[in-house]
Amino acid sequence: MSARGGVALPALGMGTWKMGEKRGQRQAEVAALQYGLDLGLGLIDTAEMYASGGAERIVGEAILGRRDEVYLVSKVLPNNASRKNTIKAAERSLKRLNCDHIDLYLLHWPSSYPLADTLEAFERLVEDGKIAHYGVSNYDAVEMADALATSGGEAICVNQILYNPAQRAIEDELLPWCSEQDIALMAYSPLDQGSILQDAVLEQIANDHGITTATLAVAWTLRFTNMVSIPKATAPAHIEAVAAAREVLLTDDDLTAIDHAFPPPNPGARLVVY
């Protein structure tokens, strides 16, 4: 898919939240990301916050020798988002990732530092070849409008947000606004941390398609042309289920049934941040 400024993004990738937290799981987490790359899940999303840099180290090991196969996304913490410290944070991330550039660098959520300072740092990182593009995460429609009106904001191409059948607040204002502005939305926790996978309606629809509920939930997020989905999976079967979402076409009846089970948001619904 493409976003503002002609930025090309894989529509489906892998998240790394909670990776790098347990030493005994390191080998399995590295292998999971490598298997996802084998299956064509070419986007990996991480952040300096995840396991205090531990997830970035996992990613760095997984992509060693395969950097050209990966669209790499990371994020700066808001408390590091001053003009000077944003650059330092990106450099630390690059060291942990063991590579020379990040494809997309995001502000993890709104910061107390002036956004203009953060964006100035992002522009400097682009000029220095350390990042290719930049965006934000967990911004609502009002915050996005303000961001685009800020110096440097015209280059914001992505907003990463929580989105799944049980968390649909973005559909009221944010999703249509971003679509109009040609800004991609990147859905994290599309499985709602697994809490929706035993829902009877989703199970029935999945059975009708001969797929798992995880595949169904991810496919549901991908029904919008400006949406990227980044589920986290470590077991090989779960990774395969995620990859299978690219082949699923949901019917109008499927979508209506999901709407009944998980009603769309009321106007003015507030975004939720994990």
Among all residues, which ones are annotated catalytic?
50
**Where are the strands (E) in 41-128, listed by range?**
43-45, 71-76, 102-107
Residues 6+ away with beta carbon under 8 Å from 190 = 163, 164, 217, 218, 220, 221, 229, 230, 231
- The CA–CA distances, whole Å, from 116 to 17, 103, 122, 179 equal 28, 21, 10, 23
CA distance 274 to 271: 10
- Residue 208 burial (CB count, 10 A): 13
State the DSSP code for 223.
T
CA angle 69, 246, 141 (to 5 degrees): 85
CA distance 94 to 102: 7
> Do the strands 102-107 and 131-137 form a parallel or antiparallel pair, or are they unpaired?
parallel
